[in-house]
Every structure is written in C-alpha cells, then in structure tokens.
Structure 1
C-alpha cells in the first residue's frame, strides 16, 4: 500500500494509491496540548519513513442531525475523534516527473466552527484532482471550545485560526516534495471555512503563505458585535477545570449553544474568531487591514442564491409561516432573500470592494444550482456536492433531489473547472453565466 515515497526536507513520507489518485493522509503538521498554541511537528524527523496511510482524526464534536438529514450521510463517517487533530491530507494526480509543478488548492472546511473535518467523505477532492490536474490539501483545525474560545485564564484565543496558519506554513515548506508549486497556493473554503480564510488574510505572520483565495458563502454579516456573546460563554467556562474530559467539554458546549439561540442570528454561530487577540487586529481595524493588503491576493468570493433556505425547514416558526395560505410561501421566500442578503451577499460585496487593487483580480460569483421543486435549491452548502465526492456519494442527499447523477457529474465538472482555472492563474473571463448553475463577473473600481 505504501509504495510511493515523497522526500521532504525533514524525512520521507509514504503515500498510497487510491483509484485514479495518489494520497498521503493523516500527516501531522503541528502538535499542541489542550489550550496551547500549535508548534511545528517533529514527527517527520524520526529515523523511519512516515506512513501517511490513515485519515486525519477530526476534532471532538457533537453529532449534527440536521447535516445528517440534508447530506444523507454521517459527515464524519467513522473518522476518529482526537484533540490532537492538527493533521492534513494531500491528494494528487498520478506522478509525472517531467511535468511542471502543479497548482495547490488548500481546503478549509466549514461547520460553524463546531463541526466537520478535512477528511470527511463529503470533501473528497478526487474528482477535482483528476479532472483538473491540481493538488488538493485538506486540513483539520481545532473547533468549538477546543479552538475558538480563549482570552481568559491564560488560555489563548484563536487557537483554531493559529492551527490553520501552522498548516499553511507546513504546506509552503513541504508541498514541492509532492509536485506542488509553493509559489501558487490557493485557499478555498465554505461557510465558516470561508470566514476563517478572510480572517487569516487580516492576521499577523501570513506573508507569502498563499496567493489566491476562493471564499464560499462566508457569513461575514454576523462577524461583528459578538463581544457580549463571547463574554457570556467565557463565564460558563471559567468554572470548568482545564483537565475536564472531552465529554464534559462537549456537554458544556451543547448547553452553551442552546442558551445562545435566544440571542438571534448571531447566536446561531456563537463560536468564531476573537478580534484584538493574536493574530488578529481589533474589530474596528479589520476592514482597514483588508484594504491595506488588497494587492497581495487574487480573490473569488461568492454565495448561493438562497443561502438561508438550508435552515428554513428545521425552524418551527418558518415551517408555520410556509403553511399560511396564499401569503405563507411568498413571505418565507422574501425572508430567505433578505437574510441571504444580510448575512452573505451584501457583506461579501463589501469585502470584494475592499480587496480591489489594480494589480490583482477580484471576482464575485453566485450559484443557482438545484431543481425548482427542491426547497434547498441554491441553498447554503449546495456547492459542496458540485465540488467534491462522486455522483454515487450524493444519491441520498436532500440537497440534490431532482438532479440525476449524470447532471451532478456534468454540472459539477463545469464548476470544478472554474475553480481550478482561477487557482492556476487568478484570471477568469470578465463575466460568465451558465444558466441554472453559476454566474460570475469581475469587480471593477
């Protein structure tokens, strides 16, 4: 199984063949004790080659019944849970020693900073890698109470964000050994993953680590004004011992999530980055920092047409609204449009304007995919089955109902081609519309 060797500057990593791709999985990019900052791993300096043949462990998390119903599968699908989750996995096309270095795409998974994992089956990049001849790196980072609540009792804030930056340093340093181009690295991530990418762009110490970004459905509209929410959660944490069990931490986290629902939309994603704590600037300076750094990256940012339609079927008040004769469904659709604008579309457009620089490209896109009779048409997460996995994987997903396996494969290939084209050069056509799938345009000054 471990018949492919990659010789890095710190030791040999053994990969494995998996159908039409080559993988090197479960590679530790850093180590960290609980509530400690990540440190560069020394695992690759052992005398023996490192067998990268196991999937990366996921950060401890609670099961999400909503995701199970929408995706038609358990997202983690048997992945082990471990606080020491600072691992990454690399997927690449069959090696061709004569080829030039390939573009590198680094996937930052979403999940409200609470759930998900880089090696979740729903994020399998094999089709993207095979079709587009790119290298994809899926990374893990700490979540929830393990990675996104600090600034008290000598516990640093933003540990999950620091994990992501540590992963990028590892990739920059070692990806050439896998045939990747360290001078052509694109970050792409959805939902909280897109939000994390945007905030990495404002962080200290990230110069030269990546060159382009694809920010998918980032909830930038709820990034501000969360200080009171954070303080409330910290008060609940202060009485818990630092050596509490994982089970105790997850139980407390679930209690926090339930109590935050009364706060409103911001309480639906209470965990996240904490401004004014390393490596981030103060909240009132973030936009200034983004504007100052605009010339460093090409940007593709976008949203789905009906983002919040994902959540409507699971909220009882909205279910009742939809059932009101004549006015119910139009009112629900109006609410979906307005909340999509407020949380995703409008702040995404503001971010695009901040990123404008005469030397780099900035594009906005919108995904319109799905059938008219599917309530999840063009909803949050609809881009995931188009980019990842296989047509067989998504057979039972409510998101994809009404679309055939052939349509998913064909239309997904079109979207994957756009993402990879941007990753190669940062330049797309000035504008493009594929009806029923995606439209984009270049943002001009």
Structure 2
C-alpha cells in the first residue's frame, strides 16, 4: 500500500503521511511539508550488522518525523564536510528525509534523491549543507535525502558479508521511494538520483547494478571519482583495516567492536597507507581505504564497462566536473604554491595515462608550473576524466548524456580555491554559509552573481528531473558540446580538450592489487 496523506487528528496543521511501515508526522516549513528521520531499513546492528539492509519493522500510531536520524559511524573528516554530527546518537542510521511542496497523491511531482559524498567514509544526510528546501521549492519537485553506511560498516570487503553494503543501502532507500513516495506527492516513475564525489560514484555504481534497475529514470553525477577496487585489492585493504584493531577481516571478529569505535581503524590506516604503496599503488595517495568493490555480484563490472555495454541506456544522464577539482585538497593540505618539480614529477608518473604520463603532460602543457601540473593530473585522474568517460560510455551504450564544467571560482579565501571540488554543492543547494560552503564563501557576502548561478544550477537540475532536458544540448563525440557554468554561462565544445586527448585511450578499470 502506498498510503495516503491527511491532517493529524487533533486538527493541527502538521502533515501526516502513511507509509508502508506506519504513519509519520512532519512539519510545514516555508511552504513545504518536511519529514526527517524516517527509517527505510532496520538498524544495521546486532545480527543485522554487516548484512544487506533488512525491511524496517512496522510501528503503531503516528511517528514524529521532526529530526534527522543519527549519522552512520564515521571518522572525523575535513572541517565542515561531515556536517551536523550534533544529530541524535543511536543505531537508526538508515533513514530518509523528504521535502515536498504538497503531500497529495493526486498531483504527483518529479522526485529527486540526493546521495552525499565524503570519500565513502564520511557523510550525513542531515548536514546543513544538504538542506533541500530551495531545490524543492524552486523546482516544484519532491526531494529526498538518505543515509547510507560508510567506512568499514559500508564498504570494507569482509568475510561473511555482502560487498558494497553502502550501495545496497541506497538501493533499499530507492525501493522505499518506489513503495512510499506517492503518499508524499511524488511520482515513483519520475525519479532522478543525484550526488557529488563519492555520491556521484554511488550514482555511477547504481547505473551498473542489476539490483537498482528500474528504480530511477534519470541520474546526475557531479565529479565522479575514478576509484573502484578489484575484489583482491579490497580484501587486502580489509585485512589491513582489521589488523589495525587486532582482528581478522571477518564478520565474527569485527562484530565484537562497537561500530563507533571501529572507525578508528580506518582513520589510523588512512595515515599509514604510504606503507602499502607497493601493493596498493594509486590508492595510497588518496588516503581513502574505501571505494565501491567490483565484486562480480553486487557490482558486476565498473560503471564505464557496464554503461558502454548498454546497462542503463534507458536512463538519461548528466555528468560533469569542476575546473580546479584537486585545488581543494592542495589548499587544505597547506601545499598551495609549495609544490616542487620533484613532487609534480612523482604525481605525473603515478597518475598520468599511458606508459609515460610525465612526458605526455609536460609536452601537452609546456608552460605549466609544477603546482599546475600536480593539480591538473590529479584533477584529471580522480574526477574530470572519469566523469567525461562516464558520459562517453553511456553514449556508446545507446544512452543520452549531457555534460557540464563548473568554472566559476569560489570567492572565499581570496579566490585561491578556484572552481574546486565540492563548490557545486553550496551552489546547487544555496547553502553558502553551511558545511563546505562556509569555507568556499568565507569572508564574503552572498553576491548577485553567486545567487544567479545558484538559481541556474537548481533550474537546470530540476528541469532535467522533470523533462530530461537541462537546457543545453546533449553531448556527442562529434561536437562535444558542454554547458560551462560561470558568471556568463555558455555552451561550448569541451573546454579541457587537451586533457581529453591525453586520456582518450585510457580505460578506467578496477584498481588492482599489485603483487
């Protein structure tokens, strides 16, 4: 039963909606009905820990949906990136939040489902930077945000547990949408998934996962990471993670440690990954021991391989990136303006395409400084080329894709951050003073230019969710037209053509265990 919407029995203005598990009461805020912390699966603790998500038990009466559910256990991350970790503590991590213009099943609206990023080890749907009121209100759409397990709980490849539990959580949330969103005024046949960074990697994974087939019609992938682990690599990393806690990488062993204490193993390993460079290769400099695992079952192949084979040809796609993706990490690491030629050379050898990536990059960008080369190759390897190749793979498989490139520089901190990784989040949500936005817009007032670009983001994303057309031409391998998002947005041929050519023959395969 999809349920129905009705006013509460005491005559208050608070909206009450009946889901398949029971009724929930939300609040009216700024012309929207908002519901927070609705469970979509059983808490993944006890005998449910490290297992695929299980159906949420039904409840009697009306459950208040006023506050966000607790964040999943996670490490301490980049300041502002984890967001509202002052949320209630508890085990009910697997919850959704809904912003709807009107919970009326008779007038269904398009649905947008946000998946947060955070290197697959951080994130919480209740973070202030993900306040979806502006998207729902400006676009007249229903917006849903969700929690999923991160770090060891969600992505470590351990014996006795399915791979990619965090991705399975996302599938369970999308199944909840299919079964319940009508009661909130949403159209289950018009669902768009969208996410940034690890959220975009999750979106790309969902496109390739058989269990997610048919659960969404459109997808938006903002800065797709190119890191997917082979099963062998993932198991080797999991063994190292467990060893940090003095355990074996099994459900039986890891279940003996409290989930919120086990995060320390991941945090410690992140600082010691340089010891494993000969085995783990390109994973090591990312300091992120978690990524989706190409296990052959939950995720049968990489997204690029799956899309090129036509796995999601009926799903319409937006993919894109930011011009200065890696700048954020250079600045936060205190390395901006300090990169030596030796450091640039090492990065070019580690991440450049082909047998001689250093020579290829130096020849293609002869006037680039060491810092520019260092940033460019890592921006290309980690985010820009994976995003471009995702669109091109989708087209090769018979699908339709649109591309964008965000080139507008973040105004905070004297503009040093440029169009860096994560800038699209505060622009899309209009949350300039929350989470990462408080860094990227630090010391500045919200300008008309920023507000206009923010509105353009929301208009394009919600138009795509509604019609499949974001307002610019689809991408193809002849004209290569891309929407450049700046103070003066323009449609131009792909702006990073030099990098595109360097990477055109590269295959983004699952990262191997080096033996």
Q: Normalising by the residue count of structure 1, what TM-score does the alignment of the two structures yield?
A: 0.87
Q: 1:175-324 to 2 correspondence within 5 Å? A: 175-220=181-226, 222-224=227-229, 227-228=232-233, 230-237=235-242, 238-239=247-248, 240-261=253-274, 263=277, 265-267=282-284, 268=286, 269-282=288-301, 287-288=305-306, 290-315=308-333, 320-321=338-339
1:28 aligns with 2:39: yes
Whether the 8 Å contact between 2:40 and 2:173 is mirrored in structure 1 is: yes
1:406 aligns with 2:417: no
Alignment match, 2:99: 91
Paired with 2:20 and 2:91, the residues of 1 have a C-alpha distance of: 27
Paired with 2:403 and 2:272, the residues of 1 have a C-alpha distance of: 36
What whole-Å deviation, never above 9, does each CA across 1:74-131 have from its counterpart, x for those lacking one? 7125123444311100011245677x31110000000001111111111101111111
Whether the 8 Å contact between 1:202 and 1:280 is mirrored in structure 2 is: yes
2:379 aligned to 340, 355, 364, which one? 340
Paired with 1:358 and 1:396, the residues of 2 have a C-alpha distance of: 36
Q: Which has the larger radius of gyration?
A: 2
1:386 aligns with 2:427: yes
1:139 aligns with 2:146: yes
Q: How many residues align?
A: 430
Change (3 A) 1:438 1:155: farther
Paired with 2:327 and 2:436, the residues of 1 have a C-alpha distance of: 20
Q: 1:422-437 to 2 correspondence within 5 Å? A: 422-427=464-469, 428-430=471-473, 432-436=483-487
1:38 aligns with 2:41: no
Alignment match, 2:86: 78
Paired with 2:70 and 2:50, the residues of 1 have a C-alpha distance of: 18
1:116 aligns with 2:123: yes
* SS of residue in 2 equivalent to 1:278: coil
Alignment match, 1:67: 79
* SS of residue in 1 equivalent to 2:26: strand
* Gap runs ≥5 in structure 2: 1-11, 343-365, 474-480, 495-515
Q: 1:359-378 to 2 correspondence within 5 Å? A: 360-370=399-409, 373-378=414-419
Paired with 1:148 and 1:397, the residues of 2 have a C-alpha distance of: 29
1:51 aligns with 2:56: no
Whether the 8 Å contact between 1:185 and 1:212 is mirrored in structure 2 is: yes
* SS of residue in 1 equivalent to 2:402: strand
CA shift, 1:353, in A, is: 1.4
CA shift, 1:29, in A, is: 0.4
1:107 aligns with 2:148: no
Whether the 8 Å contact between 1:323 and 1:329 is mirrored in structure 2 is: no
What whole-Å deviation, never above 9, does each CA across 1:34-73 have from its counterpart, x for those lacking one? 1121111123xx2312221221211011222x333xx7xx
Paired with 2:337 and 2:203, the residues of 1 have a C-alpha distance of: 33
Change (3 A) 1:409 1:94: farther
Q: Normalising by the residue count of structure 2, what TM-score does the alignment of the two structures yield?
A: 0.76
Alignment match, 1:157: 163
CA shift, 1:322, in A, is: 7.6
Paired with 2:26 and 2:95, the residues of 1 have a C-alpha distance of: 15
Paired with 2:49 and 2:315, the residues of 1 have a C-alpha distance of: 33
* SS of residue in 1 equivalent to 2:369: helix
* Gap runs ≥5 in structure 1: none
CA shift, 1:390, in A, is: 3.7
Paired with 1:2 and 1:218, the residues of 2 have a C-alpha distance of: 42
CA shift, 1:308, in A, is: 0.2
